[in-house]
Each structure stands twice: as structure tokens, then as C-alpha cells.
């Protein structure tokens, strides 16, 4: 057991430097936003719980502005961050940290300060945070996994899901796509969509389209979903909420509720819990943070 751990150990020197370089009185943009509603009494009704994952802060693909507008519109009593929030893998390769990414971190910490119970379950891309499991920093609890009890008494396992990669035989598309090709697809997607926006066309995800088109990808997704649900059942739980495969879902698998909150690079999705325990997938429209007509978020309700 090491008595102390420095971010440099995980190759995160630049991240540590950036965090230390923040002056203590650094302007905290989201704090000054009159639209914010994080306090116990807000204009908007608070949700009981919000679940997000796979934000990938530190990568150009991260849709931080969309996430900020989503968080503003969805104040909650509890917030679960289900892994791959900060992409340590990409940051080690190439430093990328724009203001909007900082704003997301500030927004989350502010929420914790205002009394929201924030739980962070690290994933594989932010596995450096697994060194902090069992600790609390800035009001955020870092845990390996969690059990969330819904308002109607269901016990749900909260876990990122990367541990299931090893047990899935048909996980070929991950190796096939690879991190770099995936990045390229996301960049292509950005260009394609700025062109579509100029033509007045709605947002469309290229990489999502590709993934859904590839049969082995679907195979992989089905295997993953089944494996996670089976493990939740084995643990005597009613269901599971995970992330990792960037595909929002909510359905019954053999009597176990399988929920995936999706991601904030492609699908811009989250899972929210109402005060009666009802769970819903929220699809947040891209471009919501930009000026222009504001579309209403689509909410697909599932029992």
C-alpha cells in the first residue's frame, strides 16, 4: 500500500499542473449564472436522481456545452457519474482542456456544494480516479460501484461496465474500431454536422450510424447487455444502471432491469429518476447550448 499518490503516477502530470495552476479565486462561471438552479429551492422541480456517464472531458468529441445546458435544465437531489467522465487516456496523449470542460467540472462541484449527493464511479478511461476509491473530494464520493435504491424500492447496481469486456467473446468491434479510428469518426462527425447545421438540417451521428449498421457491433451490444444484467441478477438486485458502450437503453432482460445512460460524445443521453421512482432516458438535443430556437428534450418513458 502506498501512503500517498500523485497524479504524476498515472501519467497525469499536465492535469495536476492545470489543477494546481487554478488560482483559488478563479472565476467560476457556472456559479454566476442566474439560470442555475442547484440550490435546495429552485424554480425548476428537482429530479430525484440524474445518471450520466461517458462524458470524455479532455477530448474534442466531448459535447461539454450540451452537457452544461442539460445539467442546468435538470437539477437533482442525487447525481451519479458512472465513469469515463474525464478521459485520462486521451489527455496523456494530447492535452486538450477548453473552458467548457472546466465549466462542467465546476458545475458538478457546485452541485455537490449546494447539497446534491454526487457519487462518482470511475470507468476505464478515468481509471486514475480508482486510486481515490473510498475517498471524498469536493463533496464527491468516489466508489467502485454503488447500489441505488429507487423511490419505489428497487435496488439497482450502478457500475461503469468495462469489466465485462473481458467476458464478452464477440467484442471484436472495439479492437476493430480502435481508439484512433473512433476519434477520427467523431471529428468527421463534427465537420459533417456543422455542414448540416449550415444547411438547416438536424444533428445526425455518423459514428452511431456506423455502429448500428455493423452487425458485430450489435452482437457485442447484446452480449454486453446480457452479461451485465446477469451479474446484477446474480447479486440479488432488481436491475443495473451502467455506461461504457455509449448506447442508451432501458429494458427488461430476463426479469432484470437493464439501463444504460448512454454518453455525451455522440448520443447526448442521460437517465433520470422522478420522485415516484419512475426512470426515463432523456435524449438531449445537440446544439441546445447554442443560440437559436430551443427544442424541447425528448423523454422516452419506460416503466
Minimal distance in Å, beta carbon 160 to Mn ion?
6
Nearest to 205 by CA among 283, 95, 102: 283
The 3-class SS string of 22-53 reads: CCCCCCCHHHHCCCCCCCCCCCCCCEEEEEEC
Nearest residue (CB) to Mn ion, 47 versus 245: 245
Minimal distance in Å, beta carbon 54 to Mn ion?
6
Is 273 a binder of Mn ion (CB under 5 A)? no
Nearest residue (CB) to Mn ion, 124 versus 219: 124
Nearest residue (CB) to Mn ion, 47 versus 232: 232
User: Which one of 122-130, 174-182, 214-222, 276-284 is the stretch in contact with Mn ion (CB under 5 A)?
Assistant: 122-130
**Contact map string, positions 137 to 176, toward Mn ion, x by CB under 5 A:** -------------------------x--------------
Is 123 a binder of Mn ion (CB under 5 A)? yes
- Selected from 72, 148, 244, 247, the binder of Mn ion by CB under 5 A is 244
Write 249-253 long-range contacts (CB < 8 A, 24+): 249/225, 249/281, 250/279, 250/280, 250/281, 250/300, 250/302, 251/302, 253/225, 253/226, 253/229
Sheet strands side by side (includes 76-81): 136-137, 140-142, 117-120, 76-81, 47-52, 269-273, 279-283, 298-302
**Contact map string, positions 74 to 93, toward Mn ion, x by CB under 5 A:** ----------x---------
User: Which one of 1-9, 67-75, 118-126, 208-216 is the stretch in contact with Mn ion (CB under 5 A)?
Assistant: 118-126
User: Which one of 123-131, 225-233, 271-279, 293-301 is the stretch in contact with Mn ion (CB under 5 A)?
Assistant: 123-131
SS3 content of the chain, % helix, strand, coil (to 5): 40, 20, 40
Euclidean distance between the first and the last CA atom of the chain, given in angstroms as a whole number? 45
- Selected from 100, 124, 155, 223, the binder of Mn ion by CB under 5 A is 124
Nearest residue (CB) to Mn ion, 30 versus 123: 123
Is 61 a binder of Mn ion (CB under 5 A)? no
Residues 6 or more apart in contact with residue 165 via CB below 8 angstroms: 171, 174
H helices, E strands: number in the chain: 7, 13
Minimal distance in Å, beta carbon 14 to Mn ion?
21
Q: How far apart are CA 48 and CA 279, in angstroms?
A: 10
Nearest residue (CB) to Mn ion, 53 versus 189: 53
| List of residues contacting Mn ion (CB under 5 A) | 84, 123-124, 162, 244
Amino acid at each position: 500500500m502506498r501512503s500517498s499518490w500523485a497524479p504524476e503516477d498515472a501519467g497525469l502530470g499536465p492535469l495536476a499542473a492545470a489543477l494546481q495552476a487554478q488560482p483559488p479565486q478563479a472565476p467560476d462561471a457556472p456559479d454566476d449564472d442566474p439560470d442555475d438552479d442547484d440550490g435546495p429551492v429552485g424554480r425548476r422541480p428537482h429530479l430525484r436522481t440524474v445518471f450520466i456517464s461517458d462524458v470524455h472531458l479532455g477530448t474534442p468529441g466531448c459535447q461539454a456545452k450540451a452537457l452544461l445546458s442539460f445539467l442546468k435544465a435538470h437539477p437533482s437531489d442525487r447525481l451519479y457519474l458512472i465513469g469515463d467522465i474525464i478521459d485520462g487516456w486521451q489527455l496523456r496523449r494530447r492535452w486538450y482542456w477548453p473552458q467548457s470542460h472546466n465549466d462542467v467540472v465546476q458545475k458538478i462541484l457546485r452541485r455537490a456544494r449546494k447539497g446534491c449527493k454526487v457519487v462518482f464511479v470511475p470507468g476505464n478511461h478515468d481509471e486514475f480516479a480508482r486510486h481515490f476509491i473510498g475517498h471524498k473530494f469536493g463533496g464527491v464520493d468516489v466508489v467502485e460501484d454503488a447500489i441505488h435504491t429507487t423511490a419505489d424500492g428497487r435496488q439497482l447496481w450502478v457500475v461503469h461496465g468495462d469489466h465485462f469486456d473481458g467476458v464478452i467473446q464477440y467484442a471484436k468491434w472495439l479492437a476493430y474500431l480502435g481508439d484512433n479510428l473512433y476519434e477520427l469518426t467523431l471529428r468527421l462527425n463534427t465537420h459533417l454536422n456543422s455542414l448540416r447545421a449550415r444547411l438547416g438540417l438536424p444533428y445526425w451521428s455518423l459514428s452511431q450510424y456506423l455502429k448500428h449498421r455493423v452487425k458485430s457491433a450489435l452482437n457485442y451490444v447484446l452480449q454486453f447487455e446480457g452479461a451485465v444484467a446477469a451479474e446484477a441478477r446474480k447479486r440479488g438486485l432488481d436491475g443495473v444502471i451502467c455506461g461504457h458502450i455509449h448506447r442508451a437503453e432501458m429494458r427488461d432482460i430476463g426479469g432484470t432491469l437493464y439501463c444504460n445512460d448512454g454518453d455525451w460524445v455522440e448520443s447526448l443521453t442521460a437517465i433520470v429518476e422522478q420522485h415516484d421512482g419512475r426512470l426515463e432516458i432523456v435524449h438531449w438535443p445537440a446544439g441546445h447550448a447554442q443560440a437559436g430556437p430551443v427544442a424541447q428534450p425528448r423523454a422516452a418513458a419506460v416503466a
